Structure formats: structure tokens, C-alpha cells
Structure 1
Amino acid sequence: MARQSRLHALLEALRGGATLRAADLAQRLSVSQRTLYRDIQSLQAAGVPVQGTRGTGYRLTDQIRLPPLDLAPAELEALSLGLAILTQSADPDLSRAATTLADRIDALLPEATIAPAEAWKLEKQPFADAARGASHIPRIRAAIRARQKLRITYHSRGDRITTRTIRPLSLTSLGPVWTLTAWCELRTAMRDFRLDLIETTEALPELFL
């Protein structure tokens, strides 16, 4: 049996949840115990949660240990957005798991990635509609690249809905919170807009420098 196929068969054997002796696993895979120990070590090195020692047996635990990861900013944004959407899941277990994971990721982020601005901490709870916010991202990204103005309807303080023409400059993920930094023509000033508070976006024919 090829090594890759053997590792897959070993993983399948452990999925049952029982603690299995090395001798029994080796016999099932038709390999020596020495080879079995090496295969166990290979699974553990790959992050598979195999627990046990020689003489006691091996089993899969419920914890999945990932090796250290270096994420690009865009990858972190994608992860944060996915978690933000899942926190709104109708499945309470899935929603709770997404919230817990987002908190754990936030705790590991360097302080330099967390902006001091309080603009998004409004009366409305974060992620009022994360899925709606996510739907605006393709149009906002396209407008940023084209230097194209946008017209948005936005939930302002006190949950008032305002219509604004903006010049979009950058999208930022602050943990699970996504914000759009833009020049607001209504306020004639730079503003940060929470994506989950944007109702609609419309690309305008006007460009800006």
C-alpha cells in the first residue's frame, strides 16, 4: 500500500473514536509497528489531533491543532468576513462557534492591526446584517480600483437612514468588523462606514482623482 493511501486508511481507522493499540493498527495496515509509529508522527506533524503513546494506544481527539500560519491581509479579511456571516447563522451552535473563533483570532492579532477609531461603535449592534454587507464588497472594490463615486444609503447614528455620495478609498477588516474609508461629500470630510450598516450601493458615472 502506498504511503499516502496508508495514512488515509490509518486516519479512517481512528475516526471511530475508540483508542486503538499500535499492534492492532499495524496488523490492519499490514505494516510493522515501527512504520506505524512513523505514520502516527506524520499525522501529528500535519496537525491531525492524534493523541496517545506507545503501549497505551491512539485515538482522535476533538481538538484540531493547526500549525502557525502567516496570513496575507486579504486572507485575513476573507476569514473575518466569513466568520461575520456565520455569526448570523440560524444554527445556534454554528453561530456560537463562529463568535468564539472570531474572538480567539482577535486576541492573537498584533495591536497595530486594530485601529483606534470608534466610528463603527454605534447604537446598532455589530453585524446587524453581515451577509448584506458582504454583498456590497465587489461593487465597492471595483469603485476603489476605478476611482469611481458611489451613492450609498446608510444607517447613521440613531438608526437614521441617509443618502450620501462618497469617494471610496479603502476597505479594512478590523477583526470581524469591515469598514469602508471614503470622502463623504455630504459631510465634506473623511468618514468610516460600517459595511453591515450600508443598505444600498450604486456606482455613479463620475470619477474622482
Structure 2
Amino acid sequence: MKRADRLMQIVQILRDGTLHKAADISAAVGVSLRTIYRDMETLAASGVPIEGERGIGYRVTAAITLPPLNLTMTEVEALHLGLSAVGQSDDAQLSTAARALLAKLDAVMPEDRSRAPTGYGFAIYPFADAARGFQHLPAMRQAIRARQKLSITIDDVMRTVRPLQLDYWGRLWTCIVWCEKTKDFSDLRVDQISELRILPSLFVDEHGKSLADFTAKRVIAGS
């Protein structure tokens, strides 16, 4: 095991806040006691809040800052869905923690991958509303990959659309579509879709109806 991996494993062992003897940690990671003592000194010097000493044991005494993480949008979706569910929990402590963690997630999301739709931004929507849209995301991703049209219903109005791109704006997913009913682009809130069905009809890029056309139109509108 590489030293960096071993140090991370030790942190995982200590993060429950209880006292762990060096001998137990040594057995868990498969190195000598002497190595564990050196590792503890290294972790303490790097800023990990470790309390303890040889012959007594060690524990982490404060919150641990996680290393930088690179998440895919699918991983963000999974994290958001899980936290949204916990946020609805009757356990006040867990619910509060989930909401706090979601706020931290929102704070580090890119604010402008192009330009946020007017009125969307990082507005805070009820957790139940945000979670409602997740049921449609797998089908929407599939349709975007396969370039299949969708039949969607919003406010009792059914329309056929060409899904072009999913965007995440912090507790809110939107989908850029070309609507065959209005003959124009639209940026739809996924949580407002009441019904969604993948159609067998495929689509190809056509002039004026592609994602590139939408982006160009947005740039012109913002200039």
C-alpha cells in the first residue's frame, strides 16, 4: 500500500471520533507501531486535528476537510438526490446536516457555464420540489445520448421536444430543448415536468435547431 493511501485509511479509521490504540491501527493497515507513530506525526503536521499520544491512543477532535474532488454531473446528481432525501428526514440533526451539505455543494458549483437562465441562478427551492425532477433525469440523459424526441407535459400542456442538454444550477436541473409546438428553444425546469415519455422518433441537427444555434442565440441576446 502506498503511504498516501495508508494515511487516508488511517484518517478514515480515526474520523469516528473515538479513541483508537496505535496497535489496533497498526493491525488494521498492516504496518509496524513505529510506522504508525510516524504517520500520526505526519498527519498532525499536515493539519489533521489529531489528539492523543503513544501508549494511550489517537482520535480526531474536529471536522476533517476533504481533499479536492472531481465529480461528474452524474455523481453530482446522485449526491444531490441522496441529500434531498435525507433533508426530508424526521431526524432533525440529519436533516439539518443534509441541508448544510447541499448549501456547500451549491456554493462550489460553477455559477456560469454559459449564462444562467433568468430567475434560476442559485435560488433555493423546496427540497421536495427539487427531488421531484430526479425521476425524469435517466430518461432525459438516454434521449440526449440517443437523439430521441421526448413527449413532455408541463402544466397540463403536452409538447414534443428535442432534448439537447441538461444543466445543473444548484438544486435545480433544467433541460435545453427545441420545442416542435412553439418552433423555438426553451430552457425547461425538469422538476415542473409532470409526465415524460421517450418517443421512437430520432432527430438530427438541423440549421436553427441545434445546441450550437441555441448557444449562439443566447450570446447575441446577452450582448
TM-score normalised over the length of structure 1: 0.68
Q: Is the 8 A contact 1:126 1:196 kept in 2?
A: no
Q: Name the Cα RMSD after superposition.
A: 4.2
Q: Residue type matched to 1:66 in 2? A: L
- Partners in 1 of 2:11 and 2:127 — Cα distance? 42
- Partners in 2 of 1:193 and 1:45 — Cα distance? 50
Measure how far apart 1:104 and its partner are: 1.1
Q: Residue type matched to 1:17 in 2? A: T
State the SS of the aligned residue for 2:162: strand
State the SS of the aligned residue for 1:117: coil
State the SS of the aligned residue for 1:139: helix
Q: Which residue of 1 aligns with 2:140?
A: 140
Structure 1 unaligned regions, length at least 5? 156-160
Structure 2 unaligned regions, length at least 5? 205-223
Measure how far apart 1:195 and its partner are: 1.7
Q: Is the 8 A contact 1:87 1:98 kept in 2?
A: yes
More strand by share: 1
Q: Which residue of 1 aligns with 2:181?
A: 186
Q: CA 1:138/1:53 → structure 2, altered by over 3 Å: closer, same or farther?
A: same
- Partners in 2 of 1:199 and 1:14 — Cα distance? 42
Find out whether 1:162 has 2:157 as its counterpart: yes
- Partners in 2 of 1:110 and 1:195 — Cα distance? 19
Q: CA 1:75/1:139 → structure 2, altered by over 3 Å: closer, same or farther?
A: same
TM-score normalised over the length of structure 2: 0.65
Q: Which residue of 2 aligns with 1:79?
A: 79
Output one character per residue of 1:75-97: Cα deviation in whole Å (capped at 9) or x when no partner.
33433343344433444433322
Q: Which residue of 2 aligns with 1:204?
A: 199
Q: CA 1:193/1:110 → structure 2, altered by over 3 Å: closer, same or farther?
A: closer
Q: CA 1:119/1:164 → structure 2, altered by over 3 Å: closer, same or farther?
A: farther
- Partners in 2 of 1:120 and 1:13 — Cα distance? 41
Q: Which residue of 1 aligns with 2:117?
A: 117
Q: Which residue of 1 aligns with 2:217?
A: none
Number of matched pairs: 194
Q: CA 1:114/1:101 → structure 2, altered by over 3 Å: closer, same or farther?
A: farther
- Partners in 2 of 1:29 and 1:193 — Cα distance? 54
- Partners in 1 of 2:130 and 2:24 — Cα distance? 51
Measure how far apart 1:138 and its partner are: 1.8
